[in-house]
Amino acid sequence: MTGQQTFTVLSVEELTKDYPGVRAVDQVSFVIENSTIHCLVGENGAGKSTLVKMLTGALEPTSGSMSVNGKAYAPTSPQEAREGGLATLFQELHVVDELTVLENLTLGMEKSRFGFLIKSDLEDRMIKTLAAIEPSIDPTARVSSLSVAQKQIIEIARAASSGANIIIMDEPTAALSEREVERLFGVIRRLRESNVTVIYISHKLDEIFELGDNVTVLRDGKHIATKPLSEVNGRAELIEMMIGRTVFQNYTPRAGIGDKVVLQAQGVTNKLLKNVSFDIKEGEIVGFYGLVGAGKTEIARALFGADPFEGSVTYKGKPVGTTPKEAIASGIALVPEERRTQGLFTELTIRENVPVMNLPRVSKSGIFKARDVRDASLRYVDQLGIATSSIEKHAEKLSGGNQQKVVFAKCLFSKADLLLLDEPTRGVDVGAKTEIYDIIKELADEGDAIAVFSSELEEVLGICDRVFLMFDGHLQEEITNGPDVDIAHILNVVTGGHEGDVI
């Protein structure tokens, strides 16, 4: 920043976002200086995503104000945000593989007359911008021939060419190799030298210290601190700011855990997972905890036969199937992260949803036994405490917590005795969470094995007997739950800390 005039490029004043019963962002205020790499950190649920959605016009704040480049800023769409000088690069790439690099750079911004494309200076400007950021990329190359990192650079060049002087990057290294990460960091530093401000969001704290100038910490929807990274005393201080509280643990050691190992995974590896090994015992609740991109969901999908993998997984001494149908037949069921799109038929009734994972139980010679279907649905409505006036109510009309209970009912009806629960309480209220936790504990006490894949530390430490800590596709560590669990150590591990780091 030597020789450059410092000024505030983005100001956030008491920004607040309320949802029914929940305040996701609570009167957050901070400023970002021009031509800096400003990092945004916080635990899962800290409010980062909601804040970014307000910055990009995807969400309207409940109250508060923003300004960009000294002017009032209140975008109602991502397009308005770009016109105001702010562009965003999300984890999901938005490039067209079948087009060339240059065609991707100009896509949607071409000049035309009477329906025909006409020559303009746009292409020359895009080529110059790309050359300044990463000269090794050929503008005539087809995008399908490029690496993930190079595709990201195309999006960065497109954002810079649009006139944006603030670029938000959300977990940009999640799918990159170590060499590609270094290349991307070089591009980001060149952006800073070109008077572009980068807001960098990552759970990888080593990246924050290597790349960033300043950092803003959010916790429980509140602004905790904004300060130069040169004034932060390493990972220990940053983690302390991110935690800032004692995680409430209501875990009670359980006596019903058997000695029998029902599931054994050895060297599970695929496009994200790297040599993952673990076991689950009869009647045990195990947790898989990690941040975005850690690999939790990928483990659940591999065990359920939804994703291919190398390595071996045996359940009750037999290899697991390679399809969800085979997994269900062997006694494994998945409560998916996205219940509305993957776990439920929302246009069907409770009665119609409950039996779908084991239709032979309620049919004979292809004909449904209506009485059996009704009795099963009523039994699970009662057992799981599903709040409904009738089993004929459509799933889409239930609350989030009751929808999740219907997904549980489907799994129980399938006769599964290994339940894979991916974010089992996401989007449900506190009361429903408690009820779902009670259901999980009751099932385990009856001998079922349960695996909880969660991004909520309080959740896994509240109900799980053992917890596997994940980072970047690796199973880093196994901990036994109890009153002496070191929260700071857990956060250090799942943000990329190594053995011997000072906590």
Give the pLDDT confidence of 21-68 residue by residue, as tens digits: 788 999 999 999 999 999 999 877 788 989 999 999 999 999 999 999
3-state secondary structure of 8: strand
Q: Are residues 32 and 63 in the same domain?
A: yes
Q: Are residues 406 and 449 in the same domain?
A: no
Residue 467: what pLDDT? 96
Choice between 373 and 256, residue whose per-residue pLDDT is larger: 373
Indicate the pLDDT class of residue 3, thresholds 50, 70 and 90: low
Residue 91: what pLDDT? 64
Indicate the pLDDT class of residue 197, thresholds 50, 70 and 90: very high
- Work out the average pLDDT over 128-140: 84
Q: Are residues 363 and 291 in the same domain?
A: no
Q: Are residues 235 and 357 in the same domain?
A: no
pLDDT tens string 149-181: 788 888 888 887 777 889 998 888 876 767 778
Residues 6 or more apart whose CB falls under 8 angstroms from that of 52 comprise 40, 88, 168, 170, 201
pLDDT tens string 223-272: 999 999 999 988 888 888 887 755 556 778 887 788 899 999 999 999 88
Q: Are residues 127 and 24 in the same domain?
A: yes
Q: Which of 341, 229, 293, 290 is nearest to 457 (CA)?
A: 290
How far is the C-alpha of 219 from the C-alpha of 217, rounded, in Å? 7
Which stretches within 23-69 are classed as H helix?
Answer: 48-55
In a domain, 340, yes or no: no
| CATH number of 149's domain | 3.40.50.300
Q: Which of 389, 415, 441 is the last residue of a domain?
A: 415
Q: Are residues 213 and 100 in the same domain?
A: yes
- Work out the average pLDDT over 388-417: 85
Q: Are residues 184 and 266 in the same domain?
A: no
Q: Which domain holds residue 79?
A: 8-243
pLDDT tens string 421-445: 998 887 666 667 788 888 889 889 9
pLDDT tens string 318-343: 998 889 889 888 889 888 877 777 77
In a domain, 372, yes or no: yes
In a domain, 228, yes or no: yes
In a domain, 2, yes or no: no
3-state secondary structure of 82: helix
First and final C-alpha spacing in the chain: 32
Q: Are residues 496 and 355 in the same domain?
A: no
Q: Are residues 45 and 136 in the same domain?
A: yes
Residue 502 has pLDDT above 60, yes or no: no
- CA distances to 159, 174, 435 from 350, rounded to whole Å, are 46, 38, 19
Indicate the pLDDT class of residue 503, thresholds 50, 70 and 90: very low
